[in-house]
A and B are shown apart, each in its own frame.
Chain A
Amino acid sequence: MSTLVQCTNLTKCYPNGKAAVTDMNLTIESGHIIGLLGPNGSGKTTLIKMINGLLKPTSGTVLVEGLLPGPESKSIVSYLPERTYLEAQKTVSDIVDFFEDFYPDFRKDRALEMIESLGIPSEARLKTLSKGNKEKIQLILVMSRDAKLFILDEPIAGVDPAARDYIIRTIIQNYNPEASVLICTHLISDIENILDDVIFLKNGRIVLRAGVDDIREKVGKTVDQYFREVFAC
């Protein structure tokens, strides 16, 4: 196991003065599927953005395989944001070519095979696809890379249960045991069976870091039940 992500005294304050992440120390090793869980405004997306180089920390550092976020670190991280980030005018095949061009670890054959299994023609424009299919295409693109770290922000939010199953299956099938997957979601019960570890965030701080089995054994509850208890309003 090697260290993939190392956050040291990481803090992010927004211009309005609000601290989204406060003095966070976190290590993510390879070979784990980790759930990044917390209520709205707990700092999950801010942390993910800093790992991806989309935000600069106010203080502290974040290193991805020993590198500050930049082109080199981005080449080993495969990121699925909670938004549709693909150009609607483009065809599925355009987007696949785009990923192939920029990511040397992108497996085009794997992506096309999965897209074909969904029955989506590669010449279809993204704007003609349903929301669920767009999300599936994005996930397929992200999971078709042989990246070292996969960061999935709300991968199953806003899709029907059948699509959720498909997405979770895709994550498991494409998971490389030497890589790590960081999944940020509110729908804990849907994904807790595939998680190895969980990180609970509250007000920009880590309040719990534990193995899923440990929680079940020591607390006697599922992660979902325990989350509801910790974050009860």
Chain B
Amino acid sequence: MLKKLLVHEWKDTWKLMTILNAAMLVVALIGVMVFNHDNLDKVMSAEKYQFGTMMGFMSYMMVYVVGIGVLAVVSTLFFFIRFYRNLYTDQGYLMHTLPVTSNDLMLSKTLVAFVWKCISSFVVTFSVAILIASMMEGGVSELFRSIGEGLRELEISNGKAILFILVFILLGIGSMLFSIMKGYAAISIGQQISKNKVLASIGIYIGISMAIQLVTNLLTQSLIFGMGAGIDKGLFANWEPTENTLLVIYLVAALLTLAASAGLYILSLNFMKNKLNLD
């Protein structure tokens, strides 16, 4: 039944998400065609067009950055609203009486939202890459050369670079899942309130965000304080941070984010399974 839920969830979400992602690519392609290296070179060498070109370029960049923000906000809101409407309003009477488990319902919503977040992240990364590459004299090859140079400057060895990429992917997956689960958990808890469920969910969402921020700050401060105390006592006299230190920090952050996402998933599922409160 999970497969069927996934198919229907996909059918109900692909249109809007495809339009949003396609729009983002179109904006990037316009930038590639108008502000590529050859065009910029030609215009900038003719002095009289310099100001207009700069203004046009800045306006475009503003639209482009706002576009990335709109894609992120609208797609996130779209999945939150869909989750709420589909499971906790009148439509919930159909969804919760289907011969499926609560876990199937939750998993289908989470997986489809996650896949779309991955696609959007890829689209944004790809659009940024083609935009930057088009502005460079050597194009894509120059972009890759610059990235390699940057990594060398950070003194990250080839073998470690792959590990860093893997850890960053893990961190990205954790962050995307966390952003989805934060909303789903807030909505699932918020529906317990008899009136103003949406407002309650927004309040809980803000509350969860603040709590996570607080925990992160406390952990960071404890780490800094602990390190400071250690340095005072001469514990780190012969210790120097290396690339491994960074790798471990990112790995811990990724694992914590994944654990927090799993915690919010279980919490949401528990509310859906045991405390369903349809009007």
Contacts and interface: CB of A to CB of B under 8 A. Distances in A.
A, B from the same assembly = yes
Interface of A: 49, 52-56, 70-72, 74-75, 77, 79, 81, 83-87, 98, 101-103
Contact of B97 (A56, A77, A84): A77
B194 to A, nearest CB: 8
B99 A74 contact: yes
Interface in B229-279: 274-276, 278
Contacts of B275: 56
B96 A54 contact: yes
A71 B1 contact: yes
Given A101-B8, A102-B100, A85 B94 contact: yes
Contacts of A84: 90
Nearest to A141: B94
Contacts of B152: none
Contact of B93 (A56, A70, A72, A83): A83
B147 interface: no
B98 A102 contact: yes
B105 to A, nearest CB: 11
Given A84-B90, A85-B90, A86-B94, A75 B278 contact: no
Q: Which of B86, B97, B98, B274 has the most CB of A within 10 A?
A: B97
- Interface SS of B by simple majority: loop
Contacts of B216: none
Given A101-B4, A101-B8, A102-B1, A87 B91 contact: yes
Contacts of B86: 87
A52 B1 CA distance: 18
Interface residues on B, range: 20 to 34
Given A54-B278, A55-B276, A103 B99 contact: yes
Contacts of B12: 87
B101 interface: yes
23 contacts: A52-B96, A52-B97, A53-B96, A53-B97, A54-B93, A55-B276, A56-B276, A71-B100, A71-B101, A74-B98, A79-B97, A85-B92, A85-B93, A86-B91, A87-B12, A87-B86, A87-B91, A98-B8, A101-B7, A101-B8, A102-B1, A102-B98, A103-B99
A103 B7 CA distance: 15
A83 B100 contact: no
A156 B275 CA distance: 30
